[in-house]
Structure 1
């Protein structure tokens, strides 16, 4: 873990002290668990089931397993966890829909919603010793409530993208106006879209809110750490670099032939697995270009996750298997095991969990430079990185991997080793617990002064 000064706290190297040695990081500390058993933690986010790796649900479950008194407070509950509660207030759904439309018409974002006041009155919030926020900008929360919520309650926020630092967009890409106040926006239609250019007004609103909020910030990549350190809105906070982790027993190399048979993949085909989505940040046009330019005599299977029918034009030329949106992580792991290559040419990515899942499964990944992905995948060791937007380079790297099984196996083997060293879920939870300990310790120190 890195502070905003870049000081190494727990991510390898020489430990700070005996209590933060490598064994502590690799296995949840029994001593820490005993000390923190009575700590009441609250995760707050938009939903529990969809995206549970990011929204605090899996972290909540892990904390419960480690003896914490953990609860998850969500805007929309879809699962059955007894310690997950839905935020509620009178006329919640119609009010939220009306306010979302009003915000859209006024070209403001996450300002008008009453959810923070419902949170402040919630019994689990009032009882919590520490609160951890996730994904607040999905159309249900008001940033104006953060100073109130964080005033007397130790609070942590995980930033999953740069939206909180910009005038409206989730990823500014090549635009640097977010560093000087936004305004005169070159692309109002990019996610999160805005009807009129109120980007400077939104940027100022965020600056004023976060200046009054009492938070510590968690990011998952050095790419994001550089953003928060540079941001006029976030540079004053304490920053902590804690990469996400995954279940390395679930996402692991396995019998590819068994997985292919289950999915109906033709024997002898080389399998290209990818995320199929029309999101402007996931590189779909470049995948199309690469497949059009690709010249190979090898029979191919295109195995897609998320949206269906986006590659129907390739039926007849290649085998196409659309798995659609999968919530079952076991099925996702099966897809990786069936693949030979994972293609992830995102044009914007703050971390990229699918890339590390493919790494853990022993598969080579192809990514674009200019995002967090080359860093996260340790390219060129655990992946191949090509220049942003260069479909020729993307095509050539894809062709090399298709034609060279030894190269695929070599990169895949190293990718698995890197995933084991850096992306163990237990290590991630240990680092979060260490941060919670640190925050609570600092609170106690201030109280005793």
Structure 2
């Protein structure tokens, strides 16, 4: 059986680790299992990306449509991983990579199993509705538009209606990851589809009790204090949903009453002691290290206010750590109250405190709960058993698909929103619902690398120097890569980028901008400078670009010189396979003194990370009149647009609004403008 998992990304968050674990276990069992993602973050040779084709349609975003401006998922039928799969296992479809109207046609081509990790599938926009129950009656008048994934306009009622329309025109096998979300789905717009509840699995051979004293010494954690652990992506205080304020309230009371407790916060950027009762471990990406850190805890305090089947609870329990939590979502299905931990009434801080205190003051209770937590996790969370449950569901899904193969569920075009109905990609996939696949692309015969440091590359590639390529061109039946020495590449770059061949003129990866501590800057950069009716303008000086050999030969002088080239077709994968130090990247864009537009945190961090930039900054521009005349840092004063020299270039310093600012400045001034992210 060939299994293809589809998810937003392949590393960060529980919903990313779940398909990764399933894929690894399924391959170890002898199946062929791969992952297709919108945003590739690992070096895994079994995870692949696809071009999400984000049109950045401002009207779409402004009017409250969610992901309707994405087109790449309408081309998944061209992907050989999709074509060869016996079953497709969907995970999170939110996160800005998948157009929801793609779901219907995919379900006509392959058996679809869909794991529900949150509420997004059954609401008008949010992944968790908290106290709002409007999803029961169709959403509308949304009280939490800012909740992820946020909407600028309340279109939740229409979004809800259209999700229902999509599901009524899809063939799905639904897998809720907790009875809680299963009850919501079966009584909501996913009713009528077969369902089977499967909890999230844990590697109980990795996550298991270990020697606490040795591990505390390894991570600089005291061996003689009661350790209360808190884990969340961004740290327990970095996400409101994970209940950081309730953790703080419990800790404050424990410390105030004289208990010798230390909170170990895992997942943020900070490291070391913040005060006598708070110690930061930082972000941990390695599962081996995470299992060790769990084993430093005496108690795991997890007062989440919205969750389905959080992996952190299953992982901690497998390590023999007692849990104290709220009665939230599917959590009571994991923690056995009074046996493996305590489940406090929702948002009841007094009860949360009393339960935590009981464990703090009783070694016997902690030891009893620890044994039972381990036993329960072995019986209920073993990922080998969970994997087998999914394999059984795959077989049922395949059988259902075959039985319903002749049923073709075409949309009534009158009920489809204009922004979807007018997409050529949507029109094409409606046609293939009843006809099937197009022929997959063939892998290019050669990978041609143009480089003057050829010892850096394997001899399995065809290596050509810059001089040879400029003089003679390259063979016409390959993919051409131009080595840019400042850029670093992952070893899996070529296999990931070329897993389905190259059909466009240009195939590129986004580029990670690395800070001095080797962490990523705000967002990745793209080599696409401009998109218009004539095609795409590409900055060929970027690393991480592959060219169809015929296109390279036609434009080889400009490409080798790192100039801007125009192409009529391109694919761009959102990966973390290519990187460059931020300081080097900024230096490559500058030839003289500049202004920086924006007096915010982005600019502050930009200047901290790029020492050479400080001496080139003429001033900081900001539209806030209250800031004009003040100093941003040392010699950099803040000025208005009316005060600037019209010949000095301006760097736009914003991760979220770079394009909006660019378009406004183009209308207002004539200065050369420099984008960081393009």
Q: Report matched runs for 1:161-200 at 5 Å.
A: 161-200=118-157
Task: Say if 1:236 and 1:447 are closer, same or farther in 2 by CA, change over 3 A.
Answer: closer
Instruction: Please say which of residues 76-85 and 194-203 is displaced more in the overlay.
Output: 76-85
For 1:53 and 1:189, the matched residues in 2 are separated by 23
Structure 2 residue ranges without an equivalent (≥5): 407-678
Task: Say if 1:403 and 1:68 are closer, same or farther in 2 by CA, change over 3 A.
Answer: same
Task: Say if 1:389 and 1:445 are closer, same or farther in 2 by CA, change over 3 A.
Answer: closer
In structure 1, the residue matched to 2:239 is: 279
User: Aligned with 1:304: secondary structure?
Assistant: strand
User: Aligned with 1:239: secondary structure?
Assistant: coil
For residues 231-250 of structure 1, the C-alpha deviation after alignment (integer angstroms, 9 at most, x for no partner) is 1x111111110111111111
Contact residue 48 and residue 55 of structure 1 kept, 8 A = no
For 1:382 and 1:191, the matched residues in 2 are separated by 32
How far apart are 1:354 and its partner, in Å?
Answer: 0.5
More strand by share: 2
Instruction: Please say which of residues 75-84 and 150-159 is displaced more in the overlay.
Output: 75-84
Task: Say if 1:437 and 1:134 are closer, same or farther in 2 by CA, change over 3 A.
Answer: same
For 2:404 and 2:180, the matched residues in 1 are separated by 32
Task: Say if 1:305 and 1:102 are closer, same or farther in 2 by CA, change over 3 A.
Answer: farther
Contact residue 227 and residue 263 of structure 2 kept, 8 A = yes
Contact residue 171 and residue 401 of structure 2 kept, 8 A = no
1:143 paired to 2:113: no
1:428 paired to 2:386: yes
Task: Say if 1:267 and 1:59 are closer, same or farther in 2 by CA, change over 3 A.
Answer: closer
How far apart are 1:81 and its partner, in Å?
Answer: 3.0
In structure 2, the residue matched to 1:307 is: 268
Of 50, 63, 76, the residue aligned with 1:87 is: 50
In structure 2, the residue matched to 1:288 is: 248
1:344 paired to 2:302: yes
In structure 2, the residue matched to 1:117 is: 74
In structure 1, the residue matched to 2:20 is: 57
In structure 1, the residue matched to 2:659 is: none
How far apart are 1:153 and its partner, in Å?
Answer: 1.3
Instruction: Please say which of residues 270-279 and 49-58 is displaced more in the overlay.
Output: 49-58
Contact residue 46 and residue 55 of structure 1 kept, 8 A = no
For 1:447 and 1:163, the matched residues in 2 are separated by 28
Structure with larger RCO (C-alpha < 8 A, sep 6+): 1
Contact residue 168 and residue 199 of structure 1 kept, 8 A = yes
1:323 paired to 2:281: yes
How far apart are 1:55 and its partner, in Å?
Answer: 5.3
For 1:106 and 1:310, the matched residues in 2 are separated by 42
For 1:297 and 1:66, the matched residues in 2 are separated by 52
Q: Report matched runs for 1:147-158 at 5 Å.
A: 147-158=104-115
Of 13, 32, 40, the residue aligned with 2:2 is: 40
More helix by share: 1
**Matched positions, count:** 401
Length-normalised TM-score, structure 1? 0.84
In structure 1, the residue matched to 2:323 is: 365
For 2:70 and 2:227, the matched residues in 1 are separated by 46
In structure 2, the residue matched to 1:221 is: 178
How far apart are 1:439 and its partner, in Å?
Answer: 2.1
For 2:363 and 2:160, the matched residues in 1 are separated by 49
1:237 paired to 2:193: yes
Q: Report matched runs for 1:61-80 at 5 Å.
A: 61-80=24-43
Structure 1 residue ranges without an equivalent (≥5): 1-38
How far apart are 1:296 and its partner, in Å?
Answer: 4.0
How far apart are 1:58 and its partner, in Å?
Answer: 2.2
For 2:375 and 2:260, the matched residues in 1 are separated by 29
User: Aligned with 1:241: secondary structure?
Assistant: coil
For residues 47-106 of structure 1, the C-alpha deviation after alignment (integer angstroms, 9 at most, x for no partner) is 2233475452221222222222322211122333333221137xx4xx45x24x554322
1:269 paired to 2:225: yes
In structure 2, the residue matched to 1:8 is: none
The structure with the largest alpha-carbon Rg is 2
For 2:16 and 2:135, the matched residues in 1 are separated by 28
1:333 paired to 2:291: yes
Contact residue 11 and residue 17 of structure 2 kept, 8 A = no
1:403 paired to 2:332: no
Contact residue 190 and residue 280 of structure 1 kept, 8 A = no
Q: CA RMSD in A?
A: 2.2
For 1:354 and 1:204, the matched residues in 2 are separated by 34
How far apart are 1:443 and its partner, in Å?
Answer: 4.0
Contact residue 322 and residue 341 of structure 2 kept, 8 A = yes
